[in-house]
Structure 1
């Protein structure tokens, strides 16, 4: 789980821009004519909010490199499939930095100490050999890189600085608007025109941008503090749920504001309960009539996992003793999706369905379960660790009995158990059962050569041994 530490007052977060421009990834872009102000080679910062709708090779975000050998600065997607990373002056991140249909703030900084790249205010690693950036006569393009490498998605709040901005400076105002008079700001486009094909430079330096192709004006980035709106598009949808899971599993970088929005139930912890609540909001589920969790159980045998989750389960998180392999043939119920990160597996419903009973999942490799947590549509949950007691009830009835009796067992998860009978002196008489645990057993001692008297029935599991005294009246 993620615990939140809020360093600012939640209600002080300001709403940002109303518009952005959506580029089609085919021939849309904006250009700004060359000017000496824009020939940056030593210290500079490039910033933008982006909302990628697909990923393609070296798709441009901000670029001044459009002719052979011009070697201008570039901020774009990376060159390795599936192109879900970023590139800055030919240094690159790994893939999986970005997801589709999510807003991201990107800041690329060049200084005398090298280059740094920030996603949502957090620095990400860059590798490779940096470009030796030169002044040139190329225009700046927004949404396009050299050779027509076009970006598909929305772009908003483009800022170009002739200084190297610090991490603190980037985080201070990335979620708000600028005045245009900030020190070092040489071009600033807030995309709030909403009409025509002109992007006004709000610095007063008159580096006007012109839209080319047929890009569309659409909703822009709006940091308005709505719980669950993690991708800032002012709509609660499945993309918010996927982003919440990615942040929870550390598959995606989340800024301080997004961490607040992830905590949908406002308990200062991000976990699967927040995922369930967000999905119920998205689907408009009325959970007032639903029953809570009961008799959650699972059984692992080799690389198979059998789950019997009880009623109305909306999400399951399983932690393993070791890293779990991501199986491309991972079979899950219809209407559910899953995410894996290292030793954690999360499954959750996206259509309001509950997890089916006795469902079998195949896992790659041999892994052992450390703990399991389930959350239902009503917010109820159950949690169990490997080392805690699995058996919550062990009853024998009738007692005394004549010939036959029943054993009732309640357990969180299924495991291999043994039921044995001993005489009053502790001498082993008979093993009545050895196998996967279940709720009820029926035994008839007439089938065995056992005389009347006092006996002990012993239940032996992986974590404990329980004994019950019984009286056999033959």
Structure 2
């Protein structure tokens, strides 16, 4: 009998199987089995469930002695269409079917339930679906004293050929809904009615451990531990993992244990078109996959639903057409700019402090009402017609450049330091409460007036290409940049004492004749028509 560690591929198309990301136990169909310490399944009800992948479902879960037996997975009479058999209810002459698909070589969840003297009380489920059912007998489950085995009849024959994982035995008949609700995830072990629970995750040694608290451990005879492999079909993604030291051979598979504890992953600018396999990076807190938009690979989809520990995700500069972050409730930083995402739901991401979703051309708008922790948001170039930031009172940076906004209420955003509203259709804007503003850009809107008298901390003011007829910045002695060209201004008050600190100044294309300053001499010498600061003929 073998006592070695083998490596088998556990990839399956069943996305809900826990067996894809954990160890399990392989039986060779010749002489492998496990003997457990469990020796009493008597009673009026039972549920046996487990995951199986293989070609011969024989004696998967079997207790037999004194002519009595309980066996889930029995192929002696029907090797191509296995059965469940109970000696107290028809035996092997009147079994119920497991389902022929169970031995097709893919992972399947198998469950048998039995309840004494009940209509349809003897049932079989495959992958959560009801396969077979009939009325149960009035005889209780036999009291067998022999130990329950996995994979063999008495350790001498009818051996299982395949892999077992996540074996659970209950002392009651579980409903279909109960089976479906837990078959794709690990149990805590303290669930009511749990008789035995073998996770089969140990990965080494000759003992399997019962996690039900009932100490029904088992001894391995020949069966070998498998190592989970994660399917990575994109060669560029796998090569990036090789370069990072998480893999060694370009063969579409990566050992799951080498990646499932990784917390930071940077696979940016690697020409990756498919990130299948990212689901097994379950410990990731930071994922950078931006810039995968080259001729040799374009990333068009991204599934991070299994990466629930993520706090930072940067998937910018790709061609994603959708992004689901509803499971990523720990996210504090999300950057997904420059994709083709038509809508973004961040309602579950209440921890977000940084959101960069610009240049996506949203169809359905953007709702950030739940994201009260946001202090930085860029939503430029998204076709937004409305934007409500009234709940985002922590915002210090807001960029709404190039949308279709007709109004924006920032009265609650008193912490704002930078507001960029360039290229919209806003006709009025009240920034009287935003006294912390240092940078305000409202270029190319439809503003007739702009009162910045309370915004004395402004360093940069950009209000060109509007319909302003006047502007008073007499209290703004921190300004270094002023652009107010292409308006209809006939009045500009710059009596703030600033001279050479104002390094950029453009008030051209207006109706000004005289600009008020505290130092007309300096202004006349330095802010000139020749330098592009004012229209010809304007004086100070």
TM-score range for the pair, normalised by the shorter chain length: 0.3 to 0.5
Q: Which has more radius of gyration? A: 2
Higher relative contact order (CA 8 A, sep 6+): 1
TM-score by length of 2: 0.36
TM-score by length of 1: 0.40
Determine which structure has the larger strand proportion and give its number.
Answer: 1
